[in-house]
Structure 1
Amino acid sequence: MEVELNSLISHFSNSLFKVKGVYHYTINPGTFHSQKTAPFPGFIFPLGGHARFNFNGSLYQVFPGRIIHGGAEMLLEKKVSKFQRWEYISVLYDIKDTLADGICLTESHFEISVGKNSKLSELLYKLWRTYQKPGPFPAFQTETLFRCVLEELFISSRGFNSEDSQVLFEEIVSYIHEHYMDSLSVRALAEQSGANENRLYYIFNKYSGMGPGDYLTTYRLNRAKELLVTENTPVGIIAKSVGYPDPLYFSRIFSKKFGLPPSGFREKFRNNPYNIQDCTIPT
């Protein structure tokens, strides 16, 4: 789900909240675990490795530089990458949500991208160590440090996200242009880029006016058009070369897009290729 950063900042500034737990975990590669989250909302700060989280059916790719917020008593599935250990610090907190702004953090899960931030990591380790200490003064320091962590989180996110969406879009588009002939899907693109599928839909609609699946299809079909009028290769081979191993399916979506089957398109435009117009997509 999406939470606008300034609204989140405003919500914290107008709410009473208190740290309920700070925990440091290291989990072995390939581990899968399903659980209900704690009775408090919290942030998950990745320190190393890569994991996939599923909050009530919403997928998140989690790695250093991408912070996840989870609500209270939610169904959570965690799958750690098989290549390295997964390390993170979680901070649970209790909050008296005002609800006046429509945000209820006890029922919200979302991600915040901050990029690599050594200062944030240092604050998190200090917060974790301080939380372990007994006495009223460490308890006071814990509350202060958590607010410092939130401040650094918000500052980093504001700086990171101003260029992040455009950069991510360009990276995925470049990947599509190089691998369109492979077996790609929106999920595969999301996993390859480390973004969740909802964010991909948002970014592609913002910069191309279509979803990532439609972009991939349009790019493939545009390349197929070029091959149909410049080569004598059979339609089935062309279909496979642009990512469609099933020639009947290729013919169906080609006809739906351009109003002609591939063979008819080749016959009409082979001797007049300059009349062909690509479907408009950023290139």
Structure 2
Amino acid sequence: MVDPNELAGHFASGAFSVHGVYESEIEPGSYRGHSQDNRTPYAGFVFALHGRAFFEFEGTRYELAPGKVAHGGARMTLSLDVPGPAPFKYVLIHYSADAPSNTGAGDCSKRHFVLETGENPAIVELLRRLHKAAGTPGSLHALEAKELFYRVTLETLKSAHNRANRESAGIVDIVLDYMHHHYMEPLTLQRLADIAGMDAKPFSYAFNKAVGLFPIDYVIRHRIERAKHLLVASNGPVSGIAKCVGYEDAHYFSRLFRKHTGYTPSGFRSRFGNYARAF
């Protein structure tokens, strides 16, 4: 998973030149773009306008359709397949990094990835203007093309960022609902990430960004809140309450409860048991 914020840092701190902007249409079929002996010296963005295609960079395959943007690094091998029935129409931007970014996360012009922007008319209009400026001779048009390249890149990264945030928010809501109904069961980060359909690290980042806590910290907080309710509303043993909120080890539960509330479970019950309605 590529982070639009990370890419924005590369383009904000680096210097780039545009080497060509091409609007093309490919009929259904399989094509060899750049082989081991015919590598492009430039990095490139491919903006899908119509139809569907599969781009394979260095053996990694991506599906492209309107609303998706592929990026291939300089000197990569490339093959593509257009399954049809319609031809695949796209805009290709070739560019190079004149000065590396100073973000310390590597040169994005040497990577391959796909961004999901959704269909955005603003991007299409900027591409049309960029294509025209890049194809017109003269230094002023060259400067305009460079400015439009940055605007296309900005709009693309903003769209990808906003789309990822909306999708992450929906995924987080699903996981939160699962947590609230299954907090008494064993819950690991990997288990929660699997429910989200994500790898553990990006899921943890997305959850923390949306909720303000990492997933397991949220599980612990929710369990402690449920334990507080049970302690003030019942006279059940602490060991039984520990099991009710997902902890088989009552001693571990007691240490955790004290860490988060400042009270032992028994002390909390003694202090607040007469005021159950406050919880």
TM-score, with structure 2 as normaliser:
0.58
Specify the alignment match of 1:138 in structure 2.
Answer: 141
Runs of 4+ that moved beyond 4 A: 165-170, 209-212
Percent identity between matched residues is 29
In 2, Cα distance between the equivalents of 1:209 and 1:21? 40
Question: How big is the shift at 1:99?
Answer: 6.0
Question: How big is the shift at 1:141?
Answer: 0.7
2:56 maps to 1:54: yes
Specify the alignment match of 1:35 in structure 2.
Answer: 34
Specify the alignment match of 2:122 in structure 1.
Answer: 119
Specify the alignment match of 1:89 in structure 2.
Answer: 91
Question: How big is the shift at 1:32?
Answer: 2.9
Specify the alignment match of 2:101 in structure 1.
Answer: 98
Specify the alignment match of 2:72 in structure 1.
Answer: 70
In 2, Cα distance between the equivalents of 1:32 and 1:167? 38
In 2, Cα distance between the equivalents of 1:146 and 1:47? 17
CA RMSD in angstroms comes to: 2.7
Could you say what secondary structure the match of 1:98 adopts?
coil
2:9 maps to 1:10: yes
* Change beyond 3 A, Cα 1:20–1:210: closer
Contact 2:13 2:103 in 1 (8 A): no
* Change beyond 3 A, Cα 1:147–1:207: same
CA deviations on 1:45-95 (whole Å, 9 max, x unpaired) are: 111110011111111011111101100111111001221100111111111
Contact 1:42 1:69 in 2 (8 A): yes
| Unpaired runs of at least 5, structure 1 | 171-202, 213-283
Specify the alignment match of 2:193 in structure 1.
Answer: 206
* Change beyond 3 A, Cα 1:210–1:91: closer
Could you say what secondary structure the match of 1:33 adopts?
strand
In 2, Cα distance between the equivalents of 1:204 and 1:92? 42
Amino acid at match of 2:48: P
2:21 maps to 1:22: yes
Amino acid at match of 1:16: A
| Unpaired runs of at least 5, structure 2 | 174-189, 200-279
Amino acid at match of 2:18: V
Could you say what secondary structure the match of 1:72 adopts?
coil
Contact 1:55 1:76 in 2 (8 A): yes
Could you say what secondary structure the match of 2:131 adopts?
helix
Contact 1:22 1:89 in 2 (8 A): yes
* Change beyond 3 A, Cα 1:205–1:124: farther
In 1, Cα distance between the equivalents of 2:47 and 2:139? 26
Could you say what secondary structure the match of 2:75 adopts?
coil
Contact 2:48 2:69 in 1 (8 A): yes
In 2, Cα distance between the equivalents of 1:49 and 1:15? 33
In 1, Cα distance between the equivalents of 2:93 and 2:19? 8
In 1, Cα distance between the equivalents of 2:55 and 2:171? 20
Contact 1:169 1:204 in 2 (8 A): no
Which has the higher Rg, Structure 1 or Structure 2? 2
In 1, Cα distance between the equivalents of 2:111 and 2:117? 19
In 1, Cα distance between the equivalents of 2:72 and 2:161? 20
* Change beyond 3 A, Cα 1:72–1:9: same
Once the two structures are superposed, the pairs formed by residues 178-217 of structure 1 within 5 Å of their partners are 206-208=193-195
TM-score, with structure 1 as normaliser:
0.58
State the aligned residue count: 179
Amino acid at match of 1:38: T
Specify the alignment match of 2:273 in structure 1.
Answer: none
* Change beyond 3 A, Cα 1:6–1:209: closer
In 1, Cα distance between the equivalents of 2:191 and 2:85? 30
In 1, Cα distance between the equivalents of 2:7 and 2:198? 27
Contact 1:204 1:210 in 2 (8 A): no
Contact 2:68 2:115 in 1 (8 A): yes
